[in-house]
Structure 1
Amino acid sequence: MLGHVSIFINGDYDPLVWIPVLIWLFDRLLRGARILAFNPLFWKAKALITYNEDAHMIRVLVPVSSSLYAIEPGTFYYLMVLNKWNFWESHPFTVASVSGPGKYGAGALEESSPLLRPASISSQEMNGESEKLQREMTFLIRPYDSFTGRLKHYAEADQPKPATVRVAIDGPYGKVLPLHQFDKVVFIVGGSGIAVPISYLEKLTMSSTRPKLVEIHWAVRQSALAVDILDHELNDALYNEQVRINIYVTGADSRRRGDEAIYRFAEWKYKRLDVEEIIERALGTGEDSLAVVTSGPARMADESRSAVAARTTDSLPRIEYFEESFQW
């Protein structure tokens, strides 16, 4: 490219080539620095991958004990798998949760942190791959083609044990939403968008300026996905009076009344999620400020955005709208 440009007017156009090249090199250096900051020995970092066929969900656990910075809610990371020749390929994923002694304590980890024990895997099998007391970051991923399809293949190849792969983590990217500044927070999410409220739950329920109420309205096609997440990442939230979990099962063949009895602290609804009704009810309970956070299909996001915009008036309590990516 430079050779083709340099022949014109004694190289006067050369800067048009060098400037983007330098920008690209600077970006590569920054990404390399982020990878080293997450784990200085990144080539030794290993992740555990499991796949729940009924829920059609991949769970990836990555140790964070070597990270030079704290994992913040709502941020996303580029995951690279170093096992194959195409190691340079990466895919962004929102961090769902962080488990380990920093959150639960050594004794509580074994009893209360199901992140280390997917339903089809015994704790003894997990111990062979990962130390119980290390902190781990969890990604919840819907498998499709290409990168996520390969993650599913790794997990299926080693079932019933978790697959172990070498990974490099590039991040964090994104920003933390100021949800702690509101009296009430309402999450309206669909499918794997549940990673967003899970990511914020610890901060919203344990900080000194926490909201009075956190509502999660989650639309799923199959109840198996909801059961899997309730068993793991949302297990503690089920027993927190500050958190209300509403699950909307939309799949025609997903009506499992037994789930309601087992997970009775979540409210099960077998219908389509009504955004207008949810926001109207949240606003109608007083003068408290309200944050509405959406992570779901385009239609869900459009409905939520329109509903909030229609209610942003001086005569109503303060309400703000936040939208998180649902593309991965």
Structure 2
Amino acid sequence: MFYISSWQDGWMVWGVAAGILMFFASLQAVHFFRSRGYETFLFIHIILAAVIVPAIYFHVKVQIKGIQYVYAMMAIWAFDYLARFLRIIVSGITSKADVRVVSGDILEFKIAYSRWWKYYPGSYAFIHILLPLQNSWQSHPFSLVSSPLKEDEGKVIIFARIKEGITKSMSEYILRQPSNMLRTIPVLLDGPYGDRHHLHHYNTLILVAGGIGITGVYPYAAELVKSPERKQNILFIWTTSDDSFSQWFGDYIAHLTSDERIQQHIYLTSERHEHEEQDVPTQFFSIEKGERPGKTTPSTPEIEYQLGPTSFGPANGLSRKSSVISASLSLVEHRGNTWVHERATRNHSRPDLKDLVANEISKARGSLAFVVCGPGPLNDVMRCSVADNIQSANARIDYYEEAFCW
């Protein structure tokens, strides 16, 4: 009887309603549903939260039991939104972004902001796009990168892979413009967030990126270029589907080639690249020592790199088929979708990451850190490989992972 009569009281109705809504909010937040329609998820989740909070309040206010927890919840929620609002103000409410489609599936944002906060490796920010039909009330997180180009000084750069939702609608908007290339739009920047890994203490860094995950590890290599006094070696490995990366990240890779402490291996993993014959123009093949630039040798020799106490090369499970130019240290060739350099190789294969990890750990004589950012399978392989080989290490080994999931 008590149960039946209690339904006549508002507190019971509000409590049941809050419980049911919280169940649906939790179910909707499962990654399977969230990843298939993030904008829809976010909109519904905010509406549910806006109803759940007052429902809980009306449920407990009658008996005054637990009301302090409701006030605490409201205070935390309000503080979160206030802090985000203040971050947006600090970043500049008049921020502008130059947006363009830099390849078939990549958007680039060059954002001029207030500069009241300083970009750092590992940082990311939420961006509001202030355009009609672009859901300006929503914000989306993206990793931040600093451009090596002088004309971009004082700006933060975002690269976003075009998928569904905001990136797709934004790319369609850009491509509809008369110029079809570049558009300056108002934005709001909420950031920076993210932890900075303190990697300067390690003797060697192994940076491994997959696809757009390059934005998560590149800043650590670029930071080394700015610190010539640091005695550190970096092996930089990037797996990407094809060589269109030179259209949007070529200048960044070229920037790293200026530092002899950094070795780069780029792997083109699509089937078209894995099975094609070597099709690089002859000027991109190795130029032997003593030969003048322009005189080419039609071969792709096995390459062994020596960087202080650490050697990087095919023996480490890295190179199967590569195209390299060994001319001046400062020379970078851009030809079509191809770039090559003495300290950067383009490989038409998939890297043997398990072999790489085992070899690097076994020969390490100083501290070693792995920093990984890529799709789930790549992260899983790297994490498991480090765990399998860490017992054989002769020095300190650490593993850092940046994962694009939330």
TM-score, scaled relative to structure 2: 0.66
Give matches, 1:102-251, under 5 Å.
109=150, 132=151, 134-158=153-177, 159-207=179-227, 210-225=230-245, 227-251=246-270
Equivalent of 2:386 in 297, 308, 311:
308
CA change 1:84–1:21 in 2 (3 A) is farther
For the 8 Å contact 1:191–1:220, the answer to whether it is kept is yes
Map of 1:8 onto structure 2: 62
Distance 2:370 2:393 in 1: 18
For the 8 Å contact 1:75–1:94, the answer to whether it is kept is yes
Distance 1:284 1:229 in 2: 36
Deviation, 1:33, is 1.5
Deviation, 1:150, is 2.4
- Unaligned 5+ residue runs, structure 1? 101-108, 110-131
Deviation, 1:314, is 6.9
Q: Per-residue CA shift, 1:16-43, capped at 9, x if unaligned?
A: 433222211100111111112222xx1x
- SS at the partner of 2:260? coil
- SS at the partner of 1:194? helix
Structure with higher Rg: it is 2
Distance 2:391 2:60 in 1: 59
- 1:75 and 2:123 equivalent? yes
The count of residues paired between Structure 1 and Structure 2 equals 291
- SS at the partner of 1:272? coil
CA change 1:280–1:133 in 2 (3 A) is closer
CA change 1:144–1:308 in 2 (3 A) is same
CA change 1:320–1:221 in 2 (3 A) is same
- Equivalent position amino acid for 2:224 in 1: L
For the 8 Å contact 2:124–2:192, the answer to whether it is kept is yes
- The answer to which structure, 1 or 2, has the higher relative contact order (CA under 8 A, 6+ apart) is 1
Map of 2:98 onto structure 1: 48
Map of 2:108 onto structure 1: 59
TM-score, scaled relative to structure 1: 0.81
Distance 1:312 1:71 in 2: 33
- 1:92 and 2:92 equivalent? no
Equivalent of 2:356 in 269, 272, 278:
278
- Equivalent position amino acid for 1:272 in 2: R
- SS at the partner of 2:257? helix
- SS at the partner of 1:273? coil
- Equivalent position amino acid for 2:119 in 1: I
Deviation, 1:99, is 4.8
Map of 1:113 onto structure 2: none
Deviation, 1:165, is 1.2
Map of 2:85 onto structure 1: 32
- Unaligned 5+ residue runs, structure 2? 1-53, 285-322, 326-332, 334-338
Distance 1:52 1:205 in 2: 25
Distance 2:248 2:153 in 1: 21
Map of 1:321 onto structure 2: 399
